[in-house]
Amino acid sequence: MTVNDPDQDLVARVGRGDPAAIQALVARKLPRMLQLAHRMLNDAVEAEDVAQEVFLRAWKQAPSWVPGAARFDTWLHRVALNLCYDRLRRRREQPMAEPPEQVDTGPAPDRDLLARDTRDRVTAALGALPERQREAVVLCHYQELGNIEAAGLMGVSVEALESLLSRGRRALRAALADLKE
Amino acid sequence: MTFERFQLLAEAWGGAIARWPAETQDAAYAFMAAAPERADAVLAEARATDALLDAAVSPAPSAALRDHVIARAPAARPERARLWRWMTGAGVGAALTAATAAGVMAGVNLSLARAPVGEDDALLTALYDTGLADDFGGSS
């Protein structure tokens, strides 16, 4: 079965070393990869490391990329998720003395404190979700992947994915119940 | 579609039916039309959760990160191509040419004391015209 990949032509041009295509791929995918890693790891510095590593692998892969078997975007997600899970595993094995430092990447300082407080609490609540629930929410809500694609990346059935999503969203709602008023 | 199924889908996929799995959307809209009040209540709850999720930090890549990523792309590293060319046939050819040139230069040096200045300049110009300068750090 072949898949319809909107990135196919771009990846082929990247594989030929086309500088404009490289710029375009970075503009299209770097924000997605950075946000995916940031939401999975809740750490700005580690997220940048992961995003860089994803692209290093993309540069190696592009010249030999065979279109039709999978979407390039799905492949990027798989690479990024594997890198995130490597880092989460290392965290479990070597607990940090202090939580990761958060870099302020949010709205400008003239935004009111309430908005900032909400943003920080939601980010923290997302980071506190069990990993699989967080992964499901990140892939489906933020990355906007379809159910089959997300379930395939996670190695679960669509029904299991929906269950993880529901539980994750319920947990977030419960943790942030006071913010909804 | 049952109410329970509608509720479960909203719990999982949020308050915008357009973002639900494609195969569920027709039935969901049909349920909405049949039971608008129940559907609206479920969707409103899900939309509130969506809004919370959307309030989370959404980092944008810095210019430095973008530049770093682009700089490590193959096209941005011409020195790799130069090294590869050097290690392949072209490089071997250039090496042989260089060895020959070195021999010629030695001959030039030996004869400098006797040769008129104009002849030396012509010989050196001819060497550079072969493109050796490019293979030893030129701009190609």
Nearest 10 degrees: Cα torsion A166, A168, A169, A170? 80
Please check the confidence at residue B136 and state whether its pLDDT lies above 50.
no
Instruction: Work out the average pLDDT over B17-21.
Output: 96
What is the pLDDT averaged over residues B95-117?
Answer: 48
Q: Tokens standing for A22?
A: 């490289």
Instruction: Find the closest chain A residue to B51 by CA distance.
Output: A180
User: Inter-chain contact A22–B73, Cβ cutoff 8 Å?
Assistant: yes
Domain total for chain B? 2
Residue B65 located in a structural domain:
no
Q: Helix B3-13 and helix A158-175: axis angle, to 10°?
A: 70
Question: CB-based contact (8 Å) between A56 and chain B?
Answer: yes
Give a yes or no: residue B87 inside a domain.
yes
Residues B36 and B79 reside in one and the same domain: no
| Percentage of chain A exceeding pLDDT 90 | 74
- pLDDT of B50 > 60? The answer is yes
pLDDT < 50: residue spans in chain A:
none
| Same domain assignment for residues A165 and A80 | no
* B129 in the same domain as B92: yes
Amino acid sitting at position A62: A
Higher per-residue confidence, B19 vs A1 = B19
Q: Which residue of B has its CA nearest to A166?
A: B12
Please indicate, yes or no, whether residues B39 and B93 belong to a single structural domain of this protein.
Answer: no
Nearest-angstrom CA–CA distance, A106 and A104? 6
For residue B89, give its domain range.
Answer: 72-135
Residue B121 has pLDDT above 60, yes or no: no
- Of B12, B48, B57, nearest to A165 by CB-CB distance is B12
pLDDT, residue B134, reads: 40
Helix pair B89-111, B78-87: axis angle to 10 deg: 80
CA distances from A153 to A157, A161, B18, B104, B117 (A): 10, 10, 22, 64, 74
Q: Evaluate whether ipTM surpasses 0.90.
A: no
pLDDT (0 to 100) of residue A78: 96
> What does pLDDT average to over chain A?
89
Structural domain boundaries, residue A9: 1-100
What letter represents residue A70's amino acid?
A: A
Q: ∠ at Cα A84 (A43, B20), nearest 5°?
A: 95
Give the chain B residue whose CA is nearest to the CA of A105: B59
- For residues A95 and A22, state if they share a domain: yes
Is A162 in Cβ contact with B9 (below 8 Å)?
yes
Q: Are A149 and A68 in the same domain? A: no
